[in-house]
Amino acid sequence: MTDEAFPVLPRFKAASDLRERIRAWLAHLRGERRMAALTLEAYERDLRQLLDFVAERTDGPVSLDGFCGLSQGDLRAFMAARRSEGAGNRTLLRGLAGVRSFARFIEREKDGKVAALSAVRPPKASRRLPKALNVADARDLAAAGTREGENRAPWILARDAAVLSLLYGAGLRISEALSLVRAEAPIGRRDIVTIRGKGGKVRSAPIIEPVRRAIEQYLDVCPYHLAPDGPLFVGARGGALSPRIIQLAVERMRGALGLPETATPHALRHSFATHLLARGGDLRTIQELLGHASLSTTQVYTAIDTARLLEAYRSAHPRARSVQSG
């Protein structure tokens, strides 16, 4: 395999033996692990940043032995340098993910072991809660009627509403909604859609009547012939729709509705989970609907709902108000 196999990835400051392992690792992530392109790029960037740092300190490309021989001091110095560039704990923690992935790969391949990685204490990062919208704002953001009067083609307004309805009404990621093909459109009597999520995981998402109706309205006015195996949602020229177009549409709606910057397409997915939980939804079921591999990822929504209940209690309960005033 040559460097051209990964034309979008920058070259590493690595000796030939380490470069060969990097190529094999990237091929493994892209092929066997079926890692998403953005995650692949992030892992590559994680490793490249470390190798750039080490190469500058040693005045030369990093060899396989040099990588395996990294000391705790090397890794601490790297993290200190990243902090001086403005990286916080969460950035550092995420930034070590690619390095650890590569280290595990070369250890599995019996090419060596980076003992220092297990000895260095990773930075702690507090878990930030997703910013969910309230029910009324989430409905307004996803509703077709809210867009009436915008100086854009009616079919484009219907398209945006259909996409956002899938995010709030079915808990889809924006990439999942835009990956649907025309033949998979949940219309008519079809009340379920099959989603291929992160890591190629497949799940089923029920489609409620308002979401199905929004998709049908979009298809009724879409001016393009949509091939069965082509994208369900298309751009102004008929090609595949970019996520950025939907993000820009939401930015416009934020201004019109007076919503905060945290009101994003992904916030609708968070709102889907938070509102289900508030109405008594089972955590395991919500995990399956969201496509989370681990229940711990979904459990963050219990903290959101608890925070909402505490806020309501403190603002409305007579005893809470008497304590605050005292």
Residue 301: active-site member: yes
Catalytic residue among 292, 308, 313, 319: 292
229-287: per-residue pLDDT in tens?
A: 999 999 999 999 999 999 998 988 888 888 888 888 888 888 887 777 766 665 666 66
Of 18 and 117, the one with more pLDDT: 18
Residue 254: active-site member: no
Residue 225: active-site member: no
HSE-up (13 A, CA, CB side) for residue 264? 12
CATH homologous superfamily of 135-274: Intergrase catalytic core (1.10.443.10)
Catalytic residue among 33, 198, 203, 308: 198
pLDDT value for 324: 45
The H or E element containing residue 206 is strand 202-206
pLDDT value for 309: 47
Residue 269: active-site member: yes
Which pLDDT band holds residue 5 (cuts at 50, 70, 90)?
Answer: very low
Catalytic residue among 21, 147, 212, 269: 269
Say if 3-119 and 135-274 have the same CATH topology.
no
Structure tokens at 81: 């340098």
Are 182 and 229 spatial neighbours (Cβ–Cβ below 8 Å)? yes
Domains of the chain by residue range: 3-119, 135-274
Residue 266: active-site member: yes
Class of the 3-119 domain?
mainly alpha
Residue 292: active-site member: yes
Burial (CB count within 10 angstroms: exposed 0-12, middle 13-18, buried 19+), residue 108: exposed
Highest mean pLDDT among 169-173, 178-182, 268-272: 178-182
This model's pTM is above 0.75: no
Catalytic residue among 173, 212, 270, 275: 173
